[in-house]
Amino acid sequence: MRHSLTFLSLLAFVLALAAWVLVWFLYTDVSNRLSDRTNALSSLSLQSAQQENAIGQHALVSDTAAQRSQLDAAVATDVVGIAGAITAAGNAAGTQTTIGSASVVASSEAASVNELEFVVQSTGSFQQIWRAAELFQSLPLPSTVSEIDLEQLPTSGKQTSQWQLTAHIDVLTSAQISS
């Protein structure tokens, strides 16, 4: 009897141990499956977000096509065309306008845009050069007037007072500039 009690105790211990091993295997299997499912859902969520971003970006590109082409057309003016527009603005104000120099201030190869600085001199009455300065500020180009100098020229006799305007005008262009 004693022998059968030891045998039954040992059998109960082995069965309990086997049960715990089975529970541990089931736990790790369920845990691994849950982890795999979480990773798959995370991956699908990431792919979905990337697709939504791509769709949004494509819509943005499509919606701004007209504005981008207008901007490209405004910036695509060549150097001679820019100089002509500046000279025409000065002449429209009734001044004698000359371009003293034009130089590349900044260049961006990535965006293929160059910033040019034109040094412009206009001579005329004060009202004329003031009007020329206003026209230089509102050129139909992507430009800014970075500096304006006004100077009264010496007169001799009964000559009317002459003024000289020197303006530094910065213009963006996508025209190819050779060094």
pLDDT of residue 1: 61
Structural domain of 125: 77-173
Kindly state whether residue 6 falls inside one of the protein's structural domains: yes
Q: pTM (2 decimals)?
A: 0.59
Asked whether the predicted pLDDT for residue 70 surpasses 90, the reply is no
d(CA 97, CA 95): 6
| 3-state SS, one letter per residue, for the chain | CHHHHHHHHHHHHHHHHHHHHHHHHHHHHHHHHHHHHHHHHHHHHHHHHHHHHHHHHHHHHHHCHHHHHHHHHHHCCCHHHHHHHHHHHHHHCCCEEEEEEEEEEEEECCCCEEEEEEEEEEEECHHHHHHHHHHHHCCCCCEEEEEEEEEEECCCCCCCCEEEEEEEEEEEECCCCCC
Asked whether the predicted pLDDT for residue 69 surpasses 90, the reply is no
pLDDT of residue 74: 64
> Beta-carbon neighbour count of residue 126 at 10 Å?
13
The strand pairing partners of 102, in sequence order, are 118
Query: Could you tell me if 162 and 88 lie in one domain?
Result: yes
Which position has the higher pLDDT, 111 or 49?
A: 49
Convert the pLDDT of each residue in 154-177 to its tens digit. Answer: 887 777 789 999 999 999 887 777
Query: Could you tell me if 42 and 95 lie in one domain?
Result: no
Query: Could you tell me if 48 and 97 lie in one domain?
Result: no
164, 153 in Cβ contact below 8 A? yes
| Total tally of structural domains belonging to the chain | 2
CATH code for the domain in which residue 165 is found: 3.30.70.60
Query: Could you tell me if 88 and 27 lie in one domain?
Result: no
Query: Could you tell me if 59 and 124 lie in one domain?
Result: no
pLDDT of residue 128: 94
Kindly state whether residue 165 falls inside one of the protein's structural domains: yes
